[in-house]
Each structure stands twice: as C-alpha cells, then as structure tokens.
Amino acid sequence: MTDIALPGAKPRRWLKRALGFLAVAGPGLIAANAGNDAGGIITYASAGAQFAYRTLFLMVLVTVALVVVQEMCARLGAYTQKGLGGLIREQFPLRASVGAMSLLFVANAGLTVSEFAGIGASMELLGVSRYIAVPIALVALWAITIFGNYTKAERVAIALSLAFVAYPIAALLAHPKWRTVGADLAAPHFAHSTAFLVLTVALIGTTITPYMQFYVASAVVDKGIGPKEYPAERVDTVNGSIVSNVVSIFIIIATAAAIGGTGALESARQAASALEPAVGSSAPTLFGAGLLGASLLAAAVVPLSSSYAIAEGLGVERSVSDSFRRAPFFFGLFTLQLLVGAGVALAPGNLIALVVNMQVLNGLITPALLVFILVLANRRSVLGAAANGPVFRAIATVCVAAVGMLALAVVLLRILGRG
C-alpha cells in the first residue's frame, strides 16, 4: 500500500523543529547580548563620539570574529559536556591552566567594576546617587542569585535592556551621512593615531570578551544541550552574536550622527543625547533604564562565568541551582567579585573613563584566552569529528592572530610611552 502524505504533516514537523529551537535558545543569545553591557554601550558610544563612523568596518570584522569564537565555545560545551575551565584543566599543563584562570579572574574583576560603574552612571541619570544605587544593586544581585530567583531577574534585566532597540530608530531619524556610513562599513577608513588603536583594542575587549566564551560553554552544559540539540543551539549562538553587534553598530552610527567628532565621551548624559532624535526629552530616562538593565544582567553574568570556570577547574560543585551549602566555593567567589566590583565603582572618579579603561584591559587579556579556545576546538581528541575543519581552523586562527597583534601593539606603545 502506498503511503499517503497526510495534510498537516509538514507543518507538524516545522512546529517540532521550532519548539526544539526554543527549548535550547538562550545561552548564546544571553551571552552575546550581555556583551552590550555598560562597558559595551559606553565604549561604542565613545567610538562614535570620538571617531564618528571610522570604526564601522572594524565592527564588521569583529562581528565575524565573535561568531567564530562563540560558535567554537558552544560546540565545545555541547560535545564534551564540560565547560572551558574543566577542558583547560584536562588538556593543558597545570601552570598553563592556573595562568588561564588567573587571566580570566583579572579580566572579569575589571568588567564587574565596569558593570557597577554602569549601574551608578545609569541611576545618576535617573536622579539617584551612585552611593545609594550601587550598594542596593549589590545586595539585590547577591540575594537573587543565591536564593534561586536568578532566572526571573534575568528576564527583567533583558526586558530593561530592550530600551536599546531605540538606537536603530534614533540612527535613522538622526539622518547620518549614509554615504559615509556605507563607505566606512564596506572598507577601512581608520584614523592613524594611538588613540584610535587603543579604542580598537577596547572595542575588541568589550565585544569578544572572555566571560562570554566561558559563560556560553558552561550555560550550554548547565542546560543539558548535547550533540543532538546542538544544531538549534548553533543558530541561537550565531544569531545572538550577529544581532548584538548590529545593535552595537547602530549605537556607533547614532552617536556619530549626534555628537561625532567632539572627542572622547565624558558622561552618560552625552551618550544619551544620541537617542534624542527617537524619543526627544525622554532620552536620558530611556538611556538610563537601558543602561541599568544591561549593567544588572552583566553584573551577574560576568562573576558567574568566573565562578563556573574556576570551580570547574578545581572540580567542585558549580551551579546557580545549588544551595550555598552545596557549592560554597562557587557562591563565595561570586560574592567576592560583587564586593570588589561595587567597592571600586564607589571610589571617587569619572565613571565613563573607568568603564572604557576596563575594556582596554579586557582587550589586552582576550588574545591569550582565545588561544586556549582555538587549540581545544582544533583537537580531535577533544571534539572528534566535530573538531574545526581546515577552513574554519584557518579563519579562527586569523581572527585570534589579528586580535593578538593589536593587543601587542598597544602594549608596545604603552611601554614606549606613546599610549
């Protein structure tokens, strides 16, 4: 008897695939969008304010690199069911593993400072002193994560972060020089200056930031995503990386159209002015709300990624689903990072300069950690048939090498006293 295709069979298969994607969507999207945190938003806005559209081609290249790196990390998590911390401990000598974890901790400690600085700057825009806002945020983030309401809080933070959807609208309404935008997106028009090079490293540091890689691998494992579910997770990871960087590009365009060429960004209110074409006098409030949501989300994700990686490297309990009693080291390390981040952000000084400097620090550390990721993803002993193929390996190597050369150039300029 010949099989007869039943009406609705294809829609049911489509629905099944869609539900399969929704079941695993999250780690890649959250990790990439957490990159549009206080450091990201302020650094992108500073790029637009200082160099107008000249960093746009760089952002295209950085987007390619981000997709490559994030995909490797998600694949490592799905196929090995181990986070990067555990894989580095198993696959590298002890000294190299300790070095990698130390670099991650330093980078993330600096980023946690910038997230609390973002909380302080956002609340000052909303009329609340940072000396009140930062301690309250510290206690709230700690309690929410420790007592198991993290998922709900994560959704609230993401909802607040959606305020930055206004940037594409603002960019369109600001009537930027579209011919210049197109030219700078399609080909390099870089400024030949030390300041441009340093900002380039800051942009790399805030976009391809190590905590995102460690977080996405651990989150994939924590969510139980394996090889069977990986195709859907790959879509989540790649799309999340592209969407987050499209928003980043619009932040640069909107800020360039509003205050391009005026010099380095000096205040959150300056950055908020880029939203005025879209929302008028409500720009500071909307920017403040978006910056608050982005900062709160990353202020939890950044220290969690350190805690995941280092606890895994030591082989101890690690999950937000555990209690403090079951995972004392994991939650203790998380608590320490929150305390340090909030404490430094409360010190007197310019919050905007503090945030950008932390991204430069991150950009200098990033290449060393990317080498570990690249080596792991290349090894068939780790991933088997899912290891990087020749073409992907070549692309990934070029990305890592380029990031490393830029970081080295900035270090040399600093040593020579030209930074």
Q: What residue segments make up the domains of the chain, in order of their start?
A: 26-415
Q: How far is CA 198 from CA 54, 116, 148, 408, 412, in A?
A: 14, 23, 40, 11, 11
Q: Which of 4-8, 29-33, 36-40, 235-239 has the highest average model confidence (pLDDT)? A: 235-239
pLDDT surpassing 70 at residue 13: no
Give yes or no for a contact between 30 and 150, defined as CB atoms under 8 angstroms apart: no
Q: How far is CA 287 from CA 136, 230, 272, in A?
A: 20, 36, 5
DSSP class of residue 165?
G
Alpha carbons 215 and 77: distance in angstroms, whole number: 10
Report the amino acid identity of residue 285: T
Give yes or no for a contact between 247 and 72, defined as CB atoms under 8 angstroms apart: no
The 10s digit of each residue's pLDDT in 140-164 is 888 887 776 566 666 666 666 666 6
Give yes or no for a contact between 78 and 233, defined as CB atoms under 8 angstroms apart: yes
**76, 67, 371, 35: which is closest to 217 by C-alpha?**
76
- 10 Å Cβ neighbour count for 179? 8
Distance linking the first and last C-alpha atoms of the chain: 78
The 10s digit of each residue's pLDDT in 389-416 is 999 999 999 999 999 998 888 888 777 7
The two three-digit tokens of residue 233, written as one number: 């997770």
Residues, the chain, total? 419
pLDDT number for residue 4:
39
- The percent of the chain in helix, strand and coil, each rounded to the nearest 5, is 80, 0, 20
HSE-CB at 311 with a 13 A cutoff on CA atoms is 22
26-415 to CATH, choices 1.10.10.10, 3.40.1390.10, 1.20.1740.10, 3.40.30.10: 1.20.1740.10
Alpha carbons 103 and 213: distance in angstroms, whole number: 14
Alpha carbons 351 and 38: distance in angstroms, whole number: 10
Residue 7: band (very low, low, confident or very high) from pLDDT cuts 50, 70, 90: very low
pTM for this entry: 0.84
pLDDT number for residue 35:
64
Q: What is the mean pLDDT of residues 209-226?
A: 83
pLDDT number for residue 29:
63
pLDDT surpassing 60 at residue 294: yes
Q: DSSP states of 366-403 as a string?
A: HHHHHHHHHHHHH-HHHHGGGS--HHHHHHHHHHHHHH
Which of 14-18, 117-121, 241-245, 287-291 has the lowest average pLDDT?
14-18
Residue 135: band (very low, low, confident or very high) from pLDDT cuts 50, 70, 90: very high
The two three-digit tokens of residue 273, written as one number: 């002015």
Q: Where are the alpha helices (DSSP H) in 4-37?
A: 9-24, 27-34
The two three-digit tokens of residue 188, written as one number: 């390099």
Give yes or no for a contact between 340 and 184, defined as CB atoms under 8 angstroms apart: no
pLDDT number for residue 8:
43
pLDDT number for residue 1:
40
pLDDT number for residue 272:
87
The 10s digit of each residue's pLDDT in 72-105 is 999 999 999 988 888 998 999 989 988 998 898 8
Q: How far is CA 195 from CA 51, 280, 331, in A?
A: 10, 32, 39
Alpha carbons 174 and 169: distance in angstroms, whole number: 9
HSE-CB at 346 with a 13 A cutoff on CA atoms is 14
Residues 6+ apart with CB under 8 A from 89: 97, 312, 313, 315
pLDDT surpassing 90 at residue 175: no
